[in-house]
Amino acid sequence: MHFRGYFDTALNQRRNYPVFVSSSHDLCRLHPLHCMPDLVFALVANPYRNSRALRQIRLLVDMGLNVHVLATEDANDGIDLGPSVVVERVPVRAGQGSTRFLEISRRFLKAAKGIDAKHFHASDLYVLGAMAKAADRAPSGNATYSYDARECYPHVAATVGRPWVSRYWQWMERRFVLNAAFVFTVSESIATHMTKIYGIERPHVVMNVPESLSFEPSDFLRREIGLSDRPKTPIILHLGQMRRDRGCEILVQSMVHVDRAHLVFLGSGPLLPTLSDLASESGLADRVHFIEPVSPDRVLSVTCGAAIGVTLLQGTCLNHEFALPNKLFEYISAGVPVAASGLVELKRIISATGVGCSVMEYDPLSVGKTLQNMLTDPVSMKRWSAAALKATETFNWDVASQPFREAFRALSIPNEIPHDHIAGSSTFHADNDIGRHRSGQA
């Protein structure tokens, strides 16, 4: 019976619903949304902590859609997505490589089974196959799916020196991207690459800009590292994950060449213990600090307390060359001057906006000199900060989200059953004129 997926969901939500589901009318009463969702949104992450997913889900809700989120984590950090969203945790056992991928695919396909949504959105490559199959098997028979290529997946750092792994990911992406109703990505370079490799219509570019530019400045960073009584001591900030090939080790070592300033890593990641040891070995334990990540809604308030924001992705893979990370736009939106790698997309943004400096040499001395020169040039610091605030006229969510909004608006998914109304009719079936396509075909 295709209602079983929603019976399971109700149990997961720990609600006291009827045990027997005999019709779609009963199902509307059973599900927390009181009806089948318009859209399934799947990702291997926590939607409350993944800022890109969080922005997209909120936009879909603003468009009047009921959204069922399938995610591997669901700790909500106090964020309320409202009555139009149900978040269902999909447990996935630990693993690596193809074993983990197959486990993810199997689990997400099972979770999506029987959900009579009109559209299935894969927020990463790991769930793309599952969402494509779920759309094909949806009870309504005319569901579509979409894909967000948040990375240049066949060429991420983990595939370097492993050509067969890279080819497998490229085969997997090609297999399902060809029939997606639409495809999104984070940068122009990735969009160009995917168009060339797969022969598809150019993916919609939705950059990783923050959702809101309205925030209250916070002294959180200074309080956390004990600098509340030293307002003139500059803080250099690195947002996000601490992983290899992100220049984190070089950044720590560079602080030997920077006077007075303190370095803060606001985030988490497997390199944290290594970086902590490195700071101690370099005599920098009192000037290098590690703070747990804050919720996406607090990032801008916290970030504006920094003097410089740093992103030092290293060009070890094509994905890094083409990357436009969240942190770049978070620094810009907070009015913080940026020191960024001289990679293709990062350099393009820095040059076009004048928000800071591109770092062309990745050694501690060069990085340290760049940071020191920035901090000792108050005229340029003011210019970079002003340029950052000016750049928000272009790099803001209202502008960046338009391709995402228009793509989903074209699906014409109506929200026919109000959230607070228990309808007497069966689940809705909207006509959908968006078909699956290959390049040049609507």
Instruction: Flag whether the pTM goes above 0.95.
Output: no
For 220-391, the fitting CATH number among 3.40.50.2000, 3.40.190.10, 3.30.2130.10, 1.10.3720.10 is 3.40.50.2000
Buried b (16+ CB within 10 A) or exposed e, 242-267: beebbbbbbbbbbbeebeebbbbbbb
Domains 4-206+401-410 and 220-391 are alike in CATH topology: yes
pLDDT at 4: 35
Domain boundaries, the chain: 4-206+401-410, 220-391
pLDDT at 211: 83
pLDDT at 32: 52
CATH 3.40.50.300, domain 4-206+401-410, yes or no = no
User: What is the full per-residue pLDDT of the chain (442 aa) written as tens digits?
Assistant: 333 333 343 334 433 322 222 233 333 434 555 568 999 999 999 999 999 999 999 999 999 999 999 999 988 878 899 999 999 999 998 777 778 889 999 999 999 998 999 999 999 999 999 999 999 999 888 899 999 999 999 999 989 999 999 999 999 999 999 999 999 999 999 999 999 999 999 999 999 999 876 889 999 999 999 999 999 999 999 999 999 999 999 999 999 999 999 999 999 999 999 999 999 999 999 999 999 999 988 999 999 999 999 999 999 999 999 999 999 999 999 999 999 999 999 999 999 999 999 999 989 999 999 999 999 999 999 999 999 999 999 999 999 999 999 999 998 765 443 433 323 222 222 222 233 332 333 3
